[in-house]
């Protein structure tokens, strides 16, 4: 399957229950048919939605359809969603919590990093949102989790393992790369980066014992002495379900199957039951296939109109 000059952007928005807001965001995306939303993953308990867009990038990484499309989605999201009324069991730093660019082949990581930096500059100046860069988009290659730790991202700020409202203070512990040095509580802050492909794999554990599941989660992650290139955290996911949510930083080296077996071994030691895990997005190959299908369908529809 041809992958030349294709870029991918994942946009994570802190909302899934307000369907009207999501409809407006998706309507904005449809204005850019050359950069279609290839996959959408919603989770009402987490109150979070992830959109995956794929597009041909062209030679100019700054003036491209993908950047324009994502900017319009972000703009509408800030207009339609108020972080002060938000709550969910997934952490977040802003209305648009996280945007990540990837190369799908034919272009370099540096190419999509330039797109990420240009998008951040526009969000910061035109939308007045404090924006932080990471990965190849940051001059020192700063990591996403290092930014999140500075903001206390991984610690629930409400009862029931919930995250609610916006930042508790306008004061920012880090200086934004773009935008104002303060955070508006209704908007929060935004993190934008460019990195190699990451798979997200969540494994349900049927328990309400957060202490036990956090112990398992720590032992899964590379940071906790577990699997290399795996990041994980425990997130409440409904009645008697806590998920071990994992970022697989090198999925060709350690994939979901290996993580699943490791969690099952640890859960057996703790005497808790484990369910089958799931990916929150499509594989790179399937994303590319679906992208070309969508483009062909759009061209066929246009030809019929003509």
Residue numbers annotated as active site:
90
Place of tokens 């899934």: 16
Residue 244's nearest CA partner among 271, 270, 269, 210 is: 210
> Distance (Å, rounded) from C-alpha 194 to C-alpha 116?
7
SS3 (DSSP) at 281? coil
Query: Which residues, at least 6 apart from 8, have a Cβ–Cβ distance to it below 8 Å?
Result: 52, 53, 54, 101, 102, 103, 104, 284, 287
- Alpha helices of the chain — where are they, by DSSP H? 19-29, 65-80, 109-126, 144-150, 210-220, 256-270, 284-305
Neighbours of 23 (CB within 10 A): 11
| Most distant CA pair in the chain, distance | 65
Contact 213/242 with Cβ under 8 angstroms? Answer: yes
> Distance (Å, rounded) from C-alpha 248 to C-alpha 141?
18
Helices 65-80 and 19-29 sit at what angle, rounded to 10 degrees?
A: 160
Residue 261's nearest CA partner among 271, 248, 276 is: 276
Residue 130's nearest CA partner among 169, 85, 90 is: 169
């Amino acid at each position: 399957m041809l992958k030349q000059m294709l870029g991918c952007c994942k946009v994570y928005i802190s909302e899934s229950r307000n369907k009207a807001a999501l409809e407006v965001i998706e309507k904005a995306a449809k204005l850019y048919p050359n950069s279609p939303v290839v996959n959408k993953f919603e989770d009402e308990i987490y109150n979070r939605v992830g959109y995956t867009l794929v597009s041909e990038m062209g030679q100019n990484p700054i003036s491209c359809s993908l950047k324009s499309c994502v900017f319009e989605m972000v703009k509408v999201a800030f207009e339609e969603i108020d972080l002060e009324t938000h709550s969910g069991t997934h952490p977040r730093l802003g209305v648009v919590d996280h945007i990540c660019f990837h190369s799908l082949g034919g272009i370099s990581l540096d190419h999509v990093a330039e797109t990420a930096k240009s998008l951040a500059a526009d969000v910061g100046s035109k939308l007045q949102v404090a924006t932080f860069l990471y990965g190849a988009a940051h001059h020192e290659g700063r990591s996403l989790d290092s930014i999140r730790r500075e903001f206390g991202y991984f610690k629930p700020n409400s009862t029931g393992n919930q995250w609610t409202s916006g930042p508790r203070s306008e004061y920012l512990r880090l200086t934004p790369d773009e935008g104002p040095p303060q955070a508006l509580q209704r908007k929060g802050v935004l993190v934008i980066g460019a990195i190699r492909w990451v798979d997200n794999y969540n494994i349900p554990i049927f328990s309400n014992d957060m202490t036990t599941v956090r112990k398992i989660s720590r032992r899964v992650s590379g940071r906790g002495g577990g699997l290399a290139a795996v990041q994980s955290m425990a997130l409440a996911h409904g009645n008697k379900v806590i998920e071990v949510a994992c970022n697989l930083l090198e999925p060709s080296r350690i994939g979901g199957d290996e993580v699943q077996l490791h969690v099952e071994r640890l859960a057996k030691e703790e005497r808790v039951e484990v369910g089958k895990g799931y990916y929150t997005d499509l594989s790179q190959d399937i994303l590319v296939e679906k992208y070309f299908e969508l483009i062909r369908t759009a061209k066929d529809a246009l030809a019929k109109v003509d």
